[in-house]
Amino acid sequence: MQYKLVIDNALSQSEEMIDQFLLATDLEGKIIYCNDSFQRLYKLLGEFVSGLPIESILNAKETGLYKNALLHCRQNKNANEKLAFKKPGTELKDEYIHFAMRPNLDKNGKMVGVILKGALTSVKPIIDHNTKPVTMLKSSLVNPSSCFETMADFMPEIMWLTDKQHQLIRVNQAWINFSGADAEEDLGNGWLKRIHPEDIERVIDEQKSAFSAQAAYSITFRFRRMDGSFRWVNMKGNPLYSETGEFLGYTGLSLDITPVKEAQIQIRRQQELMESTKIEFGKFTKIAQKIGSIIIMCNADNRITWVNDAFVKTTGYSLKEVCGKTPGSFLKGPETSKETLNRIKKVIEHGKGIRTEILYYTKNGSKVWLDLMVESLFDQDGIIAGYITIQKDITLKKISEKEVLEQMNYLKKISFITSHELRHEFSKILQLLQTAKFQDHNVATYSQIFSDIEHSANLMNDTIFKLNDQINFASSSSISLNKYILNQAIEEIVLVDDDHLVNKLNELIIRNVMPSMPVHTFDHVDNALQYVKDNPNTKRKIFLDLNFSGRSGWDFLHEYEKLGHVWPVVILTSSIDHIDYERSKKFLNVTHFITKPLTIEQFEKLSEMEHMVVH
């Protein structure tokens, strides 16, 4: 294998000696060279061993001996450490590989790793009282406290040392400066009282788990400082072994990571806020898609982030085509007023709103006059977060100043409805939900809250209708009634809606008004059609949704019309599109056009209306 670090001449000359085991590692303990004898000894033949960590071939005890020797070599470039490892794959108690470790220096004298040269011997190692083998090094009676005291107080980081029972026996001056107390108070298990009550159980469990395996650990928790405040610290502990491989305890560092932890908490809060904003924006877009006016959402740089369907229909540009662009950059044309564009740009730069008329061009080059209103959007700190632009096509009304004035008043009404009536009720719902978290958890409290939410939701629904009325959508609660169709005593009610929950809720409402009336529900158009085909003589009333994921309510109406049945169909849909309303008039069986949700009051009113027509 190739050398990845400098291997000196002495090592190269010893390479071919069969009874010599040669190994070179970098400062991190990764193998960069070993001779064939070493590979045969540890059964590495045929494997690509360069880069393997030393712990992948040595056991935990031998790895500890190796790392301690490596540390000594790093501290003294003239060191010559002695190690004794049990011969792998043998049951004999007196076969050991004795290694000599010394630093590996490059041509500039910089230590780049260590070199181990070993040979097989039959010398017995010293055995402790537990009959566990230890290496034949200096002395098995090592005093880690003296080593700790020699260097720890010179370190700015918090350092500590434990005994074999994981009892704290030494802390450095940085620890004392942090705690503000005498070191004796924190020795043993005394330091645990400084841990935050919410963290102490987890810290004890994780330390106990690591201690049982004599494994390194890293634990993050809150630790009380001398001023009584809690700071986030990261405690890293590593097992400590003597030169003979005897486990002595743990040593480690505790780093104050409060700034990092607080930044992480702040980021998480921002992510939660973004998720909440995303949900609210989703609700807004559902409403905005039902509005006939063009709506453009821009970021703080006035670059488009979202447009509604009205924008796509009017201009011919899709969201993908315009996302990231400023509105005027692609909508302007030869006759677009540069003065107006500059005025819009200047107002936006100052974070203000503007209302003006402008001539733009669609994707196919057609001219379109727009009554444009731009409003700034601010975050909770009063910083501009973006802009919302509402535009109304006034091309056909650009004949007189009177018509222009009407359009301005019209947009003001939309602005008032969206920013006052709709937002007011929406804010009230949010406030009710927030308040619910702090209320007594009893039925009466929740009943009142749900009642208030229902009231606000109904007002929001009415406002949406008002909003669409303002943009010339023809919304109505019923179609001209066919007296012949209504003048029939029905025997059942059929509900056709692809939302199973909606069907069940509507069934409950109908049974509340007409307890004895049979109600049949269908989630699929084809199943409903098959049922009415199989029961052609049953007098029924059908409540039909229009929009399905598969075959739609329009497909049902076409098929139902072919059957020649005379029983009435009531359109029950969430659509308030005047096109759907006008289209439904073409079907003779359709008697009503009702928007969801169906309420008891609506159903009772519908029944009363039919009763008046019949009589």
Reported as a single tens digit per residue, the pLDDT across 369-406 is: 988 888 888 877 788 888 888 888 888 776 555 565 66
**DSSP character for 477?**
S
| Domain spanning 9-121: CATH superfamily | PAS domain (3.30.450.20)
Tell me whether strands 492-496 and 158-162 are parallel, antiparallel or unpaired. unpaired
- Whether the CB-CB separation of 85 and 97 falls below 8 Å is answered with yes
The token duo for 444 is 């009466």
- Tell me if 88 sits within 8 A of 100, measured CB to CB: no
Residue 570 pairs in a beta bridge with 543, 592
The crossing angle, in degrees rounded to 10, of helices 525-534 and 553-563 is 20
pLDDT at 474: 37
| CB 256, CB 231: distance < 8 Å | yes
* H or E segment and range at residue 280: helix 258-288
Any idea which residue has 């379109």 for tokens? 368
Tell me which CATH homologous superfamily contains domain 275-470.
PAS domain (3.30.450.20)
CATH number of 144-256: 3.30.450.20
Quote the pLDDT of residue 10: 45
Specify which residues 367 forms β-bridges with: 361
Q: Which amino acid is at 545?
A: D
User: CB-based contacts of 529: which residues, under 8 Å, 6+ apart?
Assistant: 556, 559, 560
Question: What's the pLDDT at 429?
Answer: 67
The structural architecture, per CATH, of the domain 483-614 is: 3-Layer(aba) Sandwich (3.40)
In a 10 Å sphere around its CB, with 0-12 CB exposed, 13-18 middle and 19+ buried, how is residue 332 labelled? middle
Instruction: Please give the structure tokens belonging to residue 86.
Output: 């049990």
**191 φψ region: left (φ > 0), alpha (ψ -120 to 50), beta (else):** alpha
Domain ranges in the chain are: 9-121, 144-256, 275-470, 483-614
End-to-end CA distance of the chain: 104
- Kindly state the helix (H) or strand (E) to which residue 297 belongs, with its residue range: strand 294-299
Close Cβ partners of 387 (under 8 Å, ≥ 6 residues apart): 297, 298, 302, 348, 374, 375, 376, 377
Amino acid identity, position 116: L
Distant-in-sequence, close-in-space partners of 36: CB < 8 Å, separation ≥ 6: 45
Nearest to 488 by CA among 565, 557, 560, 568: 568
What's at 82, amino acid-wise? K
In this prediction the pTM is 0.31
Q: What is the 3-class SS of 397-446, one letter each residue? A: HCCCHHHHHHHHHHHHHHHHHHHHHHHHHHHHHHHHHHHHCCCCCCHHHH
Angle at 352 between CA 413 and CA 367, to 5 degrees: 65
Please give the torsion angle defined by the CA atoms of residues 481, 487, 488 and 494, in that order, rounded to the nearest 10 degrees.
20
pLDDT at 318: 92
Tokens at 410, concatenated: 């019209």
Q: What angle do CA 297, 269, 276 make, to 5 degrees?
A: 40
Integer angstrom CA distances of residue 146 from 69, 150, 189: 18, 6, 21
- Ranges in the chain, pLDDT < 50: 1-10, 12-16, 124-142, 472-487, 612-615
User: Distance between CA 420 and CA 409 in Å, rounded?
Assistant: 16
Within 10 angstroms of residue 123's Cβ, the number of other Cβ atoms is 10
**Is-same-fold flag (9-121; 275-470)?**
yes
